[in-house]
Amino acid sequence: MANKLRLCQVADVKDGEPVAIFLEGIPALAVYNVHGQVFVTDNVCTHGNAMLTDGYQDGGIIECPFHGGSFDIATGAAKAFPCKVALRTYPMTIEDGWVAIDKPEGGV
């Protein structure tokens, strides 16, 4: 796993309860369980400086706690105003029970 970053154990990510990940050198991340599928996105709303993990997850949608805008967790697409800019998503793998992503270029 030299080119991978371990984020959290899969067992720690409950359906509807996103997990905040803070690692030095990369943006804050959010890990989601959507009906058994795991996804990783940036954790900061593209509209305002809010942690999405402080918001509300409804199935495959995460709602920002500041202004009620929302995003599709799987694609990052903005789904509700005032959010207009898509959220960055990360391809992930599960290795040895851990959620992992490729190390971002220039980070960590």
pTM for the model: 0.93
Q: Other CB atoms closer than 10 Å to residue 38's CB: what's the count? A: 17
E strand map for the chain: 4-9, 19-21, 29-34, 37-42, 56-58, 61-63, 70-72, 78-80, 89-90, 92-95, 98-102
Q: Where does 4-102 sit in CATH, by number?
A: 2.102.10.10
* pLDDT by position in tens, the chain (length 108): 468 999 999 999 999 999 999 999 899 999 999 999 999 999 999 998 899 999 999 999 999 999 899 999 999 999 999 999 999 999 999 999 999 999 877 555
* Domain assignments of the chain as residue spans, ordered by start: 4-102
- Pairing assessment for the beta strands 29-34 and 19-21 based on DSSP bridges: antiparallel
